[in-house]
A and B are shown apart, each in its own frame.
Chain A
């Protein structure tokens, strides 16, 4: 019990430290645009993009400061009339392919895209071969006359 409370205290302390550290950071609040079309495009784009800090979150979901900065930048670029491709090119140039949640199909990602299908094909091949081998192994062997006689005897009794 004592151990538990200590752990909780530590967690609380850490939380305080982290939040105080974060509060000192310059964060510019999100200012949604009045134009719903801009916000709609921002939402669509930012669901496709990875937050560099938290990695498993999209730019849309992440509360981190860098995600807010990138959302702001994307909004600015949408307002400036940039196309989705131009905005994604801008981000890829700075942060690389890592920022895309859907990796591009290119030689370095072939394994990622096609690997599962190769594994599936390999699995099916092994399965078929195994089944065929077993079928051969347990091929029906006709009874000899003596065996048939004994079987009939047993059935009769």
Chain B
């Protein structure tokens, strides 16, 4: 009896710490979840004369992937993106974040281009509207232009299959 209270306190602490270990401290709760995707109009990377706007995507479920050639984790993620794009589950658009167009184009030449197109956000101002704080970040946007999912960090096949695909299927049915 004498040791019961410390034991219970200890076990409670263990449970809390164990839950803490399963969480990724780099992943912050997104303030924009279930909010309308901020609107923008930016030049396209491969054809700067043309622009791309989030409004062009109304009525479609789509994915916006924030990437940059200087971003090490993006390179890590890139190997998977081609496969996701090829599967045709959902169109993937790029937001080239705080990058130079020469570096970005060279990167796509070297590693392949999984994007339908990439929009150029050279000063990161659109990224700021989306609450980007570290590339890669990926948004899933529904037909009404609402952000339904945000993932910070590389989209591993696990994240893609467990978080993105089920939601894409559900949103496409709506």
Contacts and interface: CB of A to CB of B under 8 A. Distances in A.
B69 A24 contact: yes
Contacts of A97: 31
A102 to B, nearest CB: 17
Interface stretch (B111-119, B128-136, B160-168): B128-136
Given A22-B70, A26-B99, A53-B134, A70 B28 contact: no
Interface residues of B, number: 26
- For this complex, into which size category does the number of interface residues on chain A fall? 20 to 34
A69 B135 CA distance: 15
B98 A26 contact: yes
Contacts of B129: 94
B30 interface: yes
Contacts of A93: 31
A70 B25 CA distance: 21
A53 B31 contact: no
Interface of B: 25, 28-32, 68-72, 98-100, 103, 122-125, 128-134
Given A25-B98, A95-B131, A96-B30, 16 more contacts: A21-B72, A24-B100, A26-B98, A26-B124, A52-B134, A53-B134, A69-B123, A69-B124, A69-B128, A92-B31, A94-B128, A94-B131, A95-B133, A96-B28, A96-B131, A98-B28
